[in-house]
Amino acid sequence: MDVLTINDLLSRYKIGRQSLWRWRRKHGFPSPISPLNARPFWRKIDIEAWESSNILAA
């Protein structure tokens, strides 16, 4: 399973941490799959699905 860290995502989209959390609240960005109180990470497939759905909606 390919996973992305928060730094991977910040680099991928060229955004800051606040923007990423805003996207989660307002734009349906996937939640991390990491356990509570652990560094967040995301499945790459979830991120790519979100990107595809947002490209189609634009």
- Quick one: pLDDT at residue 35? 87
Where in the sequence is the domain holding 18, given as residue range(s)? 3-57
What phi and psi values does residue 18 have, to the nearest 5 degrees?
-60, -40
DSSP assignment of 9-39 equals: HHHHHT--HHHHHHHHHHS-PPPP-SPTTS-
* Percent of the residues in the chain that have a pLDDT greater than 90, as a whole number: 78
pLDDT digits (tens, 9 = 90+) for 9-27: 999 999 999 999 999 999 9
Structural domain count, the chain: 1
Those residues with Cβ within 8 angstroms of residue 4's Cβ, 6 or more apart along the chain or in another chain: 12, 41, 42, 43, 44, 47
